[in-house]
Structure 1
Amino acid sequence: MTGRALVIGASGGIGAALAAALDARGDAVTALSRSGDGFDITDPHSVSTHMAALEGPFDTILIASGILSPKDSRPEKSLAEIDAETMAQVMAVNAIGPALVLAQVPRLLPRRGRAVAGVLTARVGSIGDNGLGGWYSYRASKAAANQIVRTAAIEIARKYPDAAVVALHPGTVETDFTRNYPAHRKVSPSQAAENLLHVLDSLTPAQTGQFFDYAGEVIPW
Structure 2
Amino acid sequence: MSSLRDGYTAVVLGASGALGKACLHHLQADPRCARAIGLSRGSDPALVLEDESSLAHCAAHLREHAPLHLVLDATGALTIDGRGPEKRLEDLDADNLLRAMQINALGPMLAMKHLLPLLAKNEHVIWAKMSARVGSIEDNHKGGWYGYRASKAALNMLLQTAAVEIARRRPLAVIAALQPGTVRSRLSQPFVGDEGLAPEESARRLLHVIDRLPPNGRAHFVDHLGNSIPW
Residue matched to 1:33: 40
The answer to whether the aligner puts 1:120 opposite 2:130 as a matched pair is yes
Instruction: Report if aligned partners of 2:163, 2:217 keep a CA contact under 8 Å in 1.
Output: no
| TM-score, structure 2 as length reference | 0.92
Other structure's SS at 2:142 match: coil
Pairs within 5 Å for 1:78-117: 78-117=88-127
Which segment is superposed worse, 49-58 or 180-189? 180-189
Residue matched to 1:54: 62
Counterpart residue identity of residue 30, structure 1:
I
Instruction: Report if aligned partners of 1:172, 1:184 keep a CA contact under 8 Å in 2.
Output: no
How many residues in Structure 1 have an aligned counterpart in Structure 2? 221
Structural RMSD (CA): 1.4
Question: Could you tell me how far apart the structure 1 residues matched to 2:225 and 2:86 are?
Answer: 28
Residue matched to 1:205: 215
Question: Could you tell me how far apart the structure 1 residues matched to 2:223 and 2:24 are?
Answer: 19
Cα distance, 1:165 vs. partner? 0.8
Q: Percent identity?
A: 39
The answer to whether the aligner puts 1:145 opposite 2:158 as a matched pair is no
| TM-score, structure 1 as length reference | 0.96
Cα distance, 1:93 vs. partner? 0.7
The answer to whether the aligner puts 1:21 opposite 2:31 as a matched pair is no
Instruction: Report if aligned partners of 2:131, 2:156 keep a CA contact under 8 Å in 1.
Output: yes
Unmatched runs of 5 consecutive residues or more in structure 2: none
Deviations 1:152-182 (A, max 9, x none): 1111110101111111110110001111123
Question: Could you tell me how far apart the structure 2 residues matched to 1:149 and 1:22 are?
Answer: 23
Question: Could you tell me how far apart the structure 2 residues matched to 1:139 and 1:171 are?
Answer: 15
Cα distance, 1:207 vs. partner? 6.7
